[in-house]
Amino acid sequence: MIVQTASGKVSGVPLQGAYVFRGIPYAAPPTGKRRFQPPAPPQPWPGVRKCDHFGPLAPQQTDPSVGAARIQSEDCLYLNVWTRGCEKESMPVLVYIHGGGFVSGTGADCDGLRHAAEDGIVYVSVNYRLGALGFLYLGEVLGEEYAASGNNGLLDIAAALQWVQRNISAFGGDPARVTVIGNSAGAKCTASLYATEAARGLFHRAVAQSGATQAIRDRRTANVTTLRILEELGLSGADPSQLLELPFEQLIAAQSAVGSDTSRSLHMFGPVADGRVIPLDPLAGIAASSGLPPLLIGTNENEASIFIRDDSMLHSPGMEPLDRFFGSHAPAVWDAYQHYAEGMSPADAWCTTLTEHLYTIGAVQFAQALASSGTPVWMYRLRAGGALGATHGYEGSLIHWDPEAQPPAALAAGDPYAVPAEQYPLARSMREACVTFIRSGDPNVDALPAWPVYGTKPAIMVLDTASRVADDLPEPAGIGVPHQVWRVDR
């Protein structure tokens, strides 16, 4: 299949029931003088570009013990398209934003074949700049020309959405039915698009799974990270413009050294409320807006369980990890832990506290701001789970559940993302609701109870083996903690 895009022709690879176009450039390479600059339009090419392999990874720290190393390059602004081809009626479009804590991941992490072949959805996955190259705020050290540098990764996503608007109809997609979806940091990017003027009108609905606007930080906090990296690079007091010429490997090594503390790396980067790309008060700006896209958003009951298992610093409740996560807000979070410990085991209280202050509170604040603008919002709470409960990322296991793809020994081995048989009906229902939302902007399906819009009175779909709508879920302890813009405050 050969498709004409605005920059040139591309050829795809035939699959079982669909085609895939891997590694289509959606912006010019952000290299040389374009480093730390907003994305520029893609450069045209002659002839037919063969799109049979994924583009390079955005520079990031990788685990050398996990398979062969993929090529990394600052020339990383590529996207991938799965489609059944042009049909009589245009198909809805789903744009997937990968997670990875703003420091890792790639659009190649997913596979859009099932959505394309089975659901008739044109599926797009996107690379965007990560870490220092995508979210390092340089307005304080390099001046006005770099004032938007803390949001380059987000502007990359907006540029990809612009590409979709210009080109997706040639792949059979409907540019008036574009849904953005993300999990974890991908969900935080998705939510941040609501506060980004550059993304206005480029998507028509969104799904945010375990992430909201809580990763947005103010300029002061962002500058703290910048100064730490400059110090690691030996540029403190020197000319910081050397950042423009250093090999990217040195930048990644410096950010990895600064972020070697797990808690710090989880919150090291994210979008910046710079007053340009994102307003200084993002939630107030969202609440005051009109005509924003409908949103499907939710969190999981045991988000933090996977982090507690894998990080020795989090094994036991204590003020030290809370201080590293939450800065001056740590005492309020500790108070929430003590409140929960009165009615449950210390381990359960610790997991609940971290889950709510890392995920639930941010999702509730974002949903409330968006609902107050008059935008339809549907909210869920996933309660069904695996070996670690409904841990971070478990909703993806259910939505993408495929009994033929799940290794038979996964459950016996304690894989926290293996789906037990009693959850198969829920998995089918969640996938159906997600696809229905992508098609129509409303997740209601017969397989689930009637799902009301989230408004002034909370109405949340509790997804479980027996799902129900709850308007009596307890308000998270510490809901007043100001997580809408992340601050260091220390």
Rounded to an integer, the average pLDDT of 49-63 is: 93
Q: Rounded to 5 degrees, what are φ and ψ at 108? A: -80, -5
Amino acid identity of residue 6, one-letter, is A
- The count of other CB atoms within 10 Å of the CB of residue 330 is 20
HSE-up of residue 351 (Cα within 13 Å, Cβ side): 20
Type of residue at 133: L
Which residues pair with residue 386 across a beta bridge?
389
Instruction: Read off the tokens for 224.
Output: 């703290």
Closest Cα to residue 77, out of 103, 49, 43? 43
Query: What pLDDT score does 486 carry?
Result: 41
- Cα 313 versus chain centre, distance: 25
Query: Active-site residues: which are they?
Result: 184, 303, 392
Instruction: Give the span between the Cα atoms of 217 and 281, in whole angstroms.
Output: 10
Q: Which residue from 148, 144, 143, 140 is spatially nearest to 36, judged by alpha carbons?
A: 148
Predicted local distance difference test score (pLDDT) of residue 412: 66
Element (H, E) at 159: helix 152-167
Task: Report the pLDDT averaged over residues 173-184.
Answer: 97
Residue scoring higher pLDDT (113 or 455): 113
Residue ranges of the alpha helices (H) in 64-151?
A: 113-119, 131-135, 139-142
Q: What integer pLDDT is reported at residue 64 of this predicted model?
A: 63
Residues 6 or more apart whose CB falls under 8 angstroms from that of 192 comprise 154, 213, 215, 216, 271, 278, 282
Give domain limits for the chain.
1-183+216-280, 301-490
For residues 317 and 339, give the distance between their C-alpha atoms in angstroms, rounded to a whole number: 13
User: How many CB atoms sit inside 10 A of residue 392's CB?
Assistant: 25
DSSP SS3 for 442:
coil
Q: Which residue has the higher pLDDT, 89 or 45?
A: 45
Which pLDDT does position 87 carry in this prediction? 78
Residue 356: what residue type? Answer: E
Residues 125-137: what's their mean pLDDT?
97
Output the pLDDT for position 265.
46
Choices 3.60.10.10, 3.40.1080.10, 3.40.50.720, 3.40.50.1820: CATH for 301-490: 3.40.50.1820
Token pair for residue 264?
Answer: 């710090």
CATH fold match for the domains 1-183+216-280 and 301-490 = yes
Superfamily of domain 1-183+216-280: Alpha/Beta hydrolase fold, catalytic domain (3.40.50.1820)
Q: Give the residue carrying structure tokens 């010429």.
A: 245
- With beta carbons less than 8 A apart as the criterion, state whether 141 and 55 touch: no
Q: For residue 323, what pLDDT is reported?
A: 87
Supply the pLDDT for residue 276.
Answer: 95
Phi, psi of 216 (to 5 degrees): -70, 130
Contact criterion met (CB below 8 Å) for 384 and 465: yes
Question: Is residue 483 over pLDDT 60?
Answer: no
φ, ψ for residue 300, nearest 5 deg? -110, 155
